[in-house]
Structure 1
Amino acid sequence: MRHFDFSPLYRSTVGFDRLANVLDQALSSDVTQNSYPPYNIEKTGDDAYRITLAVAGFADAELSVEVRDGQLIVTGRKAEAEEKTNVLHRGIATRAFERRFQLADHVRVVEAVTENGLLHVSLVREIPEALKPRKIEISGTKALEAQPVEAQAAA
């Protein structure tokens, strides 16, 4: 019973269908997604974020960070070991994983760095100039009053 019906939302809003789909995906993926590898999401500035994943035991070449369809996808695939050892206890999980993060509009990945068994993915939200608020200068009405209506329409 974790599925919500967003159809009433579609009747009274325009353009929010993507938001409803994101909410539905987030609610359904939390139930099915395992907790490996553990991660943190931090806000490092006004429009800056960092996702940190614990990837101990993975080399840089075994990790992949990709942005596709508005999602950040972090994948880890352990290379096959050449020599088979007889492990008596396996407490360090080096199994393959794929972790997905839904990105908001205008969020881009700046860099991905590994340090001390942690993968740090830095993100920044960059709002395009066309979407930023801008001040519109108000001119006096005298300029419009001096011209006839036909001249205003032609201009």
Structure 2
Amino acid sequence: MTRMTPFSSPLMLGFDTMEKTLERLAKSGDGYPPYNIEKLRDPDSEAVRLRITLAVAGFKESDLDITTEENQLVIRGRQEEDGEHEYLHRGIAARQFIRAFVLAEGMRVVTAELKNGLLAIDLDRPEPQRLVRKINISVKD
């Protein structure tokens, strides 16, 4: 039996990689680290910016890695285990994480800032150029 998906329509060409990306993101159910996504409006223009804020308390700038891979924003956090301490109780774990966000076509990362345990990543989408291209039809008899 063939599985029907929203991307299996014959009118949607080339979306198979997007479908795989969405499936992979749906399977990553870990909620760590928590994050917010907010819309920022520039009063001087109609451009809309987005800010992703992740709660990364205890992570230094050198513990974090932000990359764009194809159409994804990937944030990785890795803390080194500190073997110098003898804990009586350890409620703050040094854990690793990977958090990925699918970016729409044309989205780009503008800035990333770590302040008071919050990592803020600003994104925008420049106004795309409207491109109309005439396709010539060749006649073969």
The bucket for the TM-score relative to the shorter chain is 0.7 to 0.9
Q: Which runs of 5+ in 2 are unaligned?
A: 42-46, 133-141
Identity of aligned residues (%): 42
Counterparts of 1:129-144 in structure 2, within 5 Å, are: 129-131=129-131
Q: Which runs of 5+ in 1 are unaligned?
A: 134-155
Counterparts of 1:1-155 in structure 2, within 5 Å, are: 5-6=4-5, 9-27=8-26, 29=27, 32-45=28-41, 46-81=47-82, 83=84, 85-131=85-131
| Cα deviations by residue, 1:95-132 (Å, 9 ceiling, x for unpaired) | 1111111111000000100111000000001233245x
User: Given residue 109 of structure 1, which amino acid in structure 2 is its aligned partner?
Assistant: V
Please tell me whether the aligned partners of residues 7 and 19 of structure 2 are also in contact (alpha carbons under 8 angstroms): no
Structure showing the higher helix proportion among its residues: 1
Return the TM-score normalized by structure 2: 0.75
Question: What is the RMSD of the two structures over their aligned residues, measured on CA atoms?
Answer: 2.4
Deviation at 1:8, TM superposition (A): 7.3
| Higher Cα radius of gyration | 1
